[in-house]
Structure 1
Amino acid sequence: MPDPVVLPFAEFPLQPAGFAATLGSTVVIAPHPDDESLGCGGLLALLRQAGQPVSTVLVSDGTMSHPNSRKFPPLARQVLREAELREALQILGVAADATLHLRLPDGAVPSRGAAGFEPAVARLRAYLAAQQPQTVLVPWRRDPHPDHRATSQLVHAACAELPVAPRLVEYVVWAWERAAAADLPQPGEVHGWRLDITAVVGIKQQAIAAHRSQLSPVIDDDPTGFRLSETMLAHFAQPFEVYLEAK
């Protein structure tokens, strides 16, 4: 068996909760409903407590978590998961009425060069130009899920064409569980930091719990359906979150 991958995250310097406010107005880009709460729910709560504006982009339609359900056909799954996102955002203090729904195919978000990539970039660029955020939160560029990697490419392409590029801060979701050595930050590539979210861990956990279809048998007629495991969830119950920024 290959040697287990040693995650470097615990070595990152710990920033105090007040550091969140320095990010200013923020747009969080979520490949799927729940990524916003898992990867950066604590940061979002702290931003809102500091009075900073936060808005959201949901990239995929979220329908592939239970692809074989007949009780919840694709449109019903989309509606359910978008409702869960709205509830989670409300818990975090984020207004959901400004959310941009790209509704790209879950499991097949287009990457650079694929059909649909450039139109998605154009919509995202227009939204970011209108919002003019100081910071954009985006999945880690090699987070080991194809939709997360494609989302990173969409965001980088959109931001490259803005008159003033926002600060890009990358968050991790699946790297906690699935990262190979090549998925992790390479020497000199980025600098990482952890954010102390002790004061808002409870709020983050409530937001995660709002995504009931990913945690419990809300959709009970697809035995192959996705469910977040207890070991996966444990990473997001820690009193800190991990972020990376290009050097």
Structure 2
Amino acid sequence: MHNERTFDFQSLPLRSADYAATLGPTVVIAPHPDDESLGCGGLLALLRKAGVPVWCVLVSDGSMSHPNSVKFPAAARQALRATELRLALTELGVDSNELQTLNLTDGAVPTPDTPTGAMAVQHLYNFLQQIGAKTILCPWRRDPHPDHRATSELVRSTIAKLPQPPRLLEYVVWAWERAAPADLPQPGEATGWRLDISAVLPQKQRAIAAHRSQLAPGIIDDDPTGFLLSADMLAHFAQPFEAYLEVD
């Protein structure tokens, strides 16, 4: 489809907003609070607008974004980020009661070949069997963040065990600007497309804004080494489309 030097998310074919509803009941797997809004907030809003059920699974608690804060110790950071996630989901029309948490360690999400990872796979398996989602959204398998890659492994290991595997769509977060050529889809590996989210872009922007601790100037102000989303990074998610990949 593309070679590694020319792969360009911007040039992927554009599908209309109506396409979202064809995905059926959908669950988004978010490595951290904010990935759901950044990577696929527009799609989630379109699904809910069409009355399609949506669930969210949060993999890690996100508490390592500001690990040196004294004002916000780990438990307070976890609570803050959980609140921000629920506010973001509400902006997208997703009932915050439809949220599952795996409570894995931020910055050290395990892979399925570890005891903790195997337990997470079982938890995911039970949940997916219970809800019967038709589509799963999770980060691109080589999105350049270790938690995103581990999350992808957990999801794919779970799907392999399901008697009726749902469709897997992989969304893009860090690959927009940090991907090395080998991180991007290789020739013949994946089908990519963009979804027109212009009708719900204001909703997506409000959902991103709900994650106040991750946006400058930030509300955790006593950890100068803490993480904040850069303006350049945020610009990718202000576009009127989202990019999705499906491995062939």
Given the two structures, how large is their TM-score scaled by the length of structure 2?
Answer: 0.96
The amino acid that maps onto 1:133 is A
Map of 1:231 onto structure 2: 232
Q: Residues 204-237 of structure 1, C-alpha deviation per residue, up to 9 Å, x if partnerless? A: 0000000000003200110000000000000000
**Count of residue pairs the alignment pairs up:** 244
Letter of the 1:121 counterpart: V
Judged with a 3 Å threshold, the aligned counterparts in structure 2 of structure 1 residues 30 and 42 are, in CA distance, closer, same or farther, namely same
Q: How far apart, in 1, do the equivalents of 2:52 and 2:157 lie?
A: 25
Q: CA deviation at 1:6?
A: 5.1
SS of corresponding position for 1:97:
helix
Instruction: List alignment gaps of at least 5 residues for structure 2.
Output: none
Residue 218 of structure 2 is matched in structure 1 by 217
What is the alpha-carbon distance in structure 1 between the residues aligned to residue 39 and residue 57 of structure 2?
Answer: 14
User: Offset at 1:158?
Assistant: 0.8
Q: Which residues of structure 1 form unaligned runs of 5+?
A: none
Q: Distance in 2 between matches of 1:142 and 1:209?
A: 26
1:126-156 deviation per Cα after TM superposition (whole angstroms, max 9, x unaligned): 1111111000001000000000000000001
8 Å CA contact retained: 2:7, 2:185: no
What is the aligned partner in structure 2 of residue 163 from structure 1? 163
Question: Would you say the 8 A contact 2:63–2:77 is kept in 1?
Answer: yes
Q: Structure 1 residue 19: deviation in Å?
A: 0.4
Q: Relative to 1, partners in 2 of residues 1:6 and 1:74: Cα closer, same or farther, differing over 3 Å?
A: farther
Residue 160 (structure 1) shift: 1.0
Question: TM-score of the superposition, structure 1-length normalised?
Answer: 0.97
| Deviation digits for residues 159-180 of structure 1 (CA, Å, limit 9, x no counterpart) | 1111110000000000011100
1:194 aligns with 2:194: yes
Give the Å deviation of 1:11. 2.0
Deviation at 1:197, TM superposition (A): 0.5
Q: CA deviation at 1:112?
A: 3.4
In 2, are the aligned partners of 1:139 and 1:152 still within 8 Å (CA)?
yes
Do the aligned residues in 2 keep the contact of 1:5 with 1:180 (CA within 8 Å)? no
CA contact (8 A) 2:112 2:121 kept: no
Query: Alignment identity in percent?
Result: 66
Instruction: Say whether 1:243 aligns with 2:247.
Output: no
One-letter amino acid of the counterpart of residue 50, structure 2: A
Report runs of 4+ in structure 1 exceeding 3 Å deviation. 4-7
